Amino acid sequence: MALYAFNRREDGNLANAETELMFSIGKTYDLYHYLLLLVLEVADIAGEKIDQALRKRMPTAGDLNPQRRFVDNLVIAQLKKNLAFKSYISSKRLSWVNSSHISRLMYTNMLSWDIYEEYMKSENHNYLSDKKFIIKLITDLFSNSEDLHSNLEEQSIYWNDDIEYVSAMVEKTLKKFKADSGENTSLMTLFKNVEDEEFVKILFRKAVIHSDKCSELIDKNTTNWEVERIALMDILVMRLAITEIIEFPEIPVKVTLNEYIEIAKYYCTSKSSTFVNGILDNIVKEIREKGLFNKFGRGLVGEALTDEN
C-alpha cells in the first residue's frame, strides 16, 4: 500500500515515502495493542454489569451469584498486569474512551455468541480454556465485526485493512503465554531485529529505484498484454516480488513467490493470483538464465529442484 501511495504522489519524494511507510507500520503496531485493550474494555463492562446487579434493591438469585468466569479470565488478569503492554498503552495514549459504544457493542455481541455461552457453561475451567476463549474472541468475534471494522477505518486511514493481520499477531502472542507468565512477559516486538527493519526499508527503496527494470521484465513476459493495461496493484505486487528475489539472496525463490501470490489474493482482483503466478514464473526463469540473482544459504532451498524442472 505504501508503494501504491508513492506511485500516486506527484512530488516523487522517496524520503517522505519511506517515512510514511515506517509510520504506517507503527500504526499497525498501535492496532495490535488496541485490540488487546478492547478485550480489557469488554471485561470491564462485564464487571460493571455484575456490580450494578448486586446493587439492585431487590437482586435476584442470579444477581447475587453471578457467573464471573469471563471477568476473572486468567489471561485477562495477565494482560492487566503486563508491564510492556501498560507502558505502550500509556506512552501512545491509546484509549477506547472516544469509541466506548464499540466496547459496549462488542460486549452485547459476545453475550449472544454461541462460543461465549459454551465457555461460560463449560465445566472445564482452566488456564488453557481461558486462553482459547480470548483468542477466539479476537480472531472470530472482533475480526468479523463490520461495526468494529468501520470504526477502525474512521479512527485511522492506516487501519482499513489491518485487522485480519493484527488478529493473527495477537493470536501468536497469546499462544506463547503460559499459566505462570508474569508481568514481565514480552509481547510481540515491532521488528524481530535490526535486519528485519532494514529489510522493509531496502525492499521498498529498491522497488522504487528499479521500477523501470521491473516493468521491462513484466512487459517482456506478459503475452498479449501491455504493462499499461495491467492493474496497478498487480504490477506493484510483481515489482516487489522481483525486487525481493534479486536483492535478497538469502530468501528462497519459492518462499518469495508463495508470499506474493498470497498478497495478490488479498490486495488484487480474484483472478490476479493466477495471473501474477504465471508471469512471475516466467520472469524467474529469465532472470535465473541471465544470472541476475545468486542465492546462498537458506536461499538455495528448492533451487536444485527448480533447475531440474
Cβ contact 237:283 at 8 Å: no
Q: What is the pLDDT of residue 1?
A: 86
Interatomic CA distance for residues 254 and 241, integer angstroms: 11
Task: Quote the pLDDT of residue 125.
Answer: 87
Across all residues in the chain, what is the average pLDDT? 89
Domain ranges of the chain: 27-175, 194-308
Q: What is the value of pTM for the model shown?
A: 0.84
Using a pLDDT cut of 70, give the percent of the chain over it.
94
Confidence of residue 306 (pLDDT cuts 50, 70, 90): very low
Q: What is the pLDDT of residues 32-47, one digit of tens each?
A: 999 999 999 999 999 9
Residue written as grid cell 504490477 = 235
pLDDT of residue 302: 56
300 DSSP assignment: G
Of 236, 233, 231, 239, nearest in space to 213 by CA: 239
CATH placement of domain 194-308: 1.10.940.10
State how far the Cα of 176 lies from the Cα of 135, in Å rounded to an integer.
Answer: 12
Distance between CA atoms of residues 202 and 204, nearest Å: 5
